[in-house]
Every structure is written in structure tokens, then in C-alpha cells.
Amino acid sequence: MPIECRISNGTFFCEKLSHQDIIEACQRKLKVAPTPLFVYSKAQIVKNIRMYLDALKLLDCESQLNYAVKANPNFSLLRLIRSQGASATLISGNEIRLALEAGFEPTLMMYNGGGKCQWETQLAIEHNLLINVDSLWDLKQTLDICRNGFPETRTARLLLRINLNIDSSVHNFVNTGKADSKFGLSEKESEACLELLEQPGCPAELVGLHSHLGSTIYQSDVFRLSLERLLEYRSKLVSRGFIKVSLINIGGGLGIDYKLLEFETKAWQSESEDNKKNILQLKEFLLNLEEDQTDGCSRKNILSSLSAYVNESIAFEDLRLATTVFLSTNKHLGSKVEQICSSLTAPKPVHATPLDLIQSVSDLLKGKDVKLIIEPGRSIVANSSAVIARILGCKQSSEKRFIILDVSMTEIIRPCLYGAYHHVTILNNSDSSNKMEKKVFNVVGPVCESSDFLAQNRMLPDTCEGYAIIHDVGAYCYSMASNYNVRMRPAEVLVDGHDCILIRRPDTYEDFMAPYKEI
């Protein structure tokens, strides 16, 4: 399925509009600064939601798709997501308010969180949201509000978030399923919660179980393991008398392939030590071959490419292509050379899709009187957006070259916070960037922090002007943006075919000063 935010012949396109079209629309029609600018594709968001909903139809049970609002809470995007048939998962009282205002059905909304304030839980109970219990004190607070927070006692609909001690093999900062995580109930706390819920007159009913293992998960096997354990636990609860436990929420966390285009800009400095060893071993092997043992042209080409890659004048994609051609014309060399070349020609890991996720668990749900809930966020919005940034200039220190953009860690904090990868494409107005000499650069912003980088050790065109595209920024970028260095958060626009619509104006200095003046 084609991606709506893409590069074609050196030009960025979002649906039908090029980056030049979008910049012109910002200047003439929308009257906002054209860079930095978050650009979203309506069609991509709709496609991503449809992939989940179509997959869920394959299940032999009821199902529900909840969008994790924390990924991107833009109000226009929320209304779009709601219109496509998704509900919402919330993590704060203000997210609840936002989802209500966006028109989501309250009884389908899920309120998560390990640190709920009283007013937030009261708001959730008032609107009959599903509430995920994360700790014993969380449950005690909820029951107290049910009894004392309203003129008459209310009944809360609860799920227990169970810590299943499953390692999803992701960055520690987004790994939420292990035993040492702050999220979820241990076996001991779960039992204490059940004992409270069993007490006569308890103003709550247990309707489900929940587990969320983490974020940027690229394989579906951990979701299957999670569901197996939740279903096993549900059986025990039903036998114990909790007969209304029918909601099984396996959370979200499915990732996207942020590194889909990585080979285009991958440089020697970014290689693992094992890969460097293999590349140098291949070069030595080829140099020691007699000329009549190989196709001369392809041998010369791959040796040239190996030297160029090690000397950082080409990207990995160029070396990979030369290696593939060499292997195809020199099959007689056998398995030894294929083994040496394997790190250069091996396919990239395949990321699980929504269909893969659902197919991996579908057999577990046959004949089960349950409703499956999933809570994706990143995989709904991440690849729907890119940032258009302007190149302010470039510089070289004694050891590094830098391209400096007008976007920074204040808008895209993931590389700084998690060491996350975002692909960067350099566009240039005066010439084709593909024809320019390429060098290894760090891509940085203007913020006064050494951690203000967007990309490191990338093979990019050697230019100090034009525009850059930061890919896949729809999730956990704008939602985590800040005003550090008194930087103003930029505008957001939604592209719908040929139309470019402003869905959030940029911050102004007056916005920043208002809380200080209005006291």
C-alpha cells in the first residue's frame, strides 16, 4: 500500500501536493510561517484505521478499536479518527475532556493511567467511561469517589491492568510490560484488588482485563502471549464469581518501520562492529582473488564501492546494490562469498502489520464469549506526517559536519529522548540533491543543548540551503513538543487531496506571555 507522505524525484509529496505547493499555501492562503511545519495526510490516517478495522472483522468475537490519544491529540485529527469508527483511550482528565468535545462515545472510551487525580477519576465515572485500575490505591480512590463523589452512589466499570512480566524487547523507556515497570498490577496487588471488589456493596463491577506491553513493538508474538495469559486469568476470575469479565484489552504498541529508507543515508560510521568486520573481510577476499576467477567489471565495481563506503563517499544503499550485482554475476564463487556478503544483502526485518497482529491471536478467541479491545496510537498516525524544515546553514567542527535546521528537539524530541531514528531527506531548490556530492552529517537544530540532534552520521547532499524533510513524525512528536528556549510550537496542516487545511495555528509570543500577564 503506497505511503501518502513520500519522496518522488527529489520532491516531497503529501497526497497530491508537493512541498512547494504546501509552502506556497502557507504563505498565501493560510498566512502562517511555512517552516518548520507539521504536514499530515488525511488519506494515510484513514488507510491506517481501515487496516485495523478490516483485520478485526476476521475475529470470531466482538472487537473494539481505541485510538491512544496521547500519540497525537490534535483536535481535528481526533474528529477524523472518531468519524472512521474508532473510540479513544485516555491518560488524563484533560484528554477525557478533549475526547468528549471531539464527539467520542463515552461508554466506549478507556481511561488508563497509574497516577489518576481525584477530579480525573470523578470525571470518568460521571461519564461512565471504562476505567483501568493500575494499583490498589487507584482502586481505593475510585471506590471512594463512587461512594462520596456524587449525590448518590455511582457504579464504576473497571478493568484490571495486569503486569504479565513480558519483555517486548523495545527501548527501556517504552517497555511497560516487565516486572520492574511502574505500570500494572502484580499478582499480590491483583489479589488485594479482587478482595476489595468482592466485598458486599462494592460500588464497582469488574468487566475486563488489560495489559499493555510497550511501544514500537515490531513482532506480533508478544501480543499472542499476552492474550493467552489474560484469557487464562479471566477463566479463573469467572470461576471465582466475576462473571461480567468479558473485555480483554491487549493494549497497543505496534510500531512502524521508521528505518524503511535507512539504507539511502546509512554511513560507515553507523555500522555495527560485526558489519564493519564483514565488509573489510569481503574487500580482502576480493583483492586476493585472481582476476580470471570473477567477472571483471562487477569485481571492479564492488571493490570501488567498498572503498567508497569505507571512505564515506557513498551510502549503504549504493554498496548494497553493487554487492547484489556482483553476487548475481559470480554465483560460481559459492557459499563462502555469499556468507561474507550476507550482512550486505540480507532483507530488513519485517514489521508486523495490524493484520499480522490479529491473525496471530485469532485462534485463541474462537468460541470465547469476550470482546477484544486494542489501543494503537503510533501505527495510526506516525507515518501520516512529515515536517518540512528549512536549512539555516551548515558548519564543520574538527571532527563533525553539521546541517542546521529551523526544527529542533523542542518539536521532535524522540531522537534525543530514546535515540530514535527518523529518516531525513535533504531537498534543494537549485539543483537535484541526487547529483550533489554526499558527505556524512549530523542534522541538528538551533536549541542550546548538545542533545539537540535529529539525525546522526547520515550520508546526505553537501548543501547549506533549501529544505529538509523529517519523516514519520505523526506520533509522539508534536504531542511532546515544548517551548524550551522560548521557541514557539509550529503550525500543523492537514492535506486532503489537493487541499491544505490549517488544523493548528503556530504559537505566538502573546500566547507564551498570556499566563504571566493574566494574573
Considering the candidates 448, 464, 477, 500, report the single residue annotated as catalytic: 448
| Strands 37-41 and 62-68, sheet pairing | unpaired
Instruction: Say how many C-beta atoms besides its own lie within 10 A of residue 340's C-beta.
Output: 19
Q: What residues form DSSP beta bridges with 427? A: 467
Query: What cell numbers appear for 292 in the block?
Result: 580470471
Q: What is the DSSP string of 283-310?
A: HHHHHTS-GGGS-HHHHHHHHHHHHHHH
Q: How far apart are CA 175 and CA 347, in angstroms?
A: 26
Query: What cell numbers appear for 393 in the block?
Result: 546553514
Which of left, alpha, beta for 249 (phi over 0: left; psi -120 to 50: alpha)? beta
- b (16+ CB within 10 A) / e for 4-43: bbbbeeeebbbbebebebbbebbeeebebbbbbbbbbbbb
Q: What residues form DSSP beta bridges with 217? A: 254
What residues have CB less than 8 Å from 288, skipping those under 6 apart? none
Q: What is the DSSP letter of 198?
A: T
Nearest-10 Cα torsion for 44, 49, 55, 57: -140
Q: What is the DSSP letter of 107?
A: G
Q: How far apart are CA 233 and CA 297, in angstroms?
A: 64
Q: How far apart are CA 379 and CA 218, in angstroms?
A: 11
Q: How far apart are CA 302 and CA 216, in angstroms?
A: 35
Catalytic annotation present for 341: no
Q: How far apart are CA 515 and CA 519, in angstroms?
A: 7
Count Cα atoms within 13 angstroms, Cβ side, for 338.
Answer: 8
The count of residues in the chain is 519
In angstroms, what CA-CA distances link 311 with 262, 302, 439, 448, 459?
19, 14, 10, 31, 12
Instruction: Say how many C-beta atoms besides its own lie within 10 A of residue 451's C-beta.
Output: 11
Residue 171 burial (10 A CB sphere; 0-12, 13-18, 19+): middle
Among all residues, which ones are annotated catalytic? Answer: 448
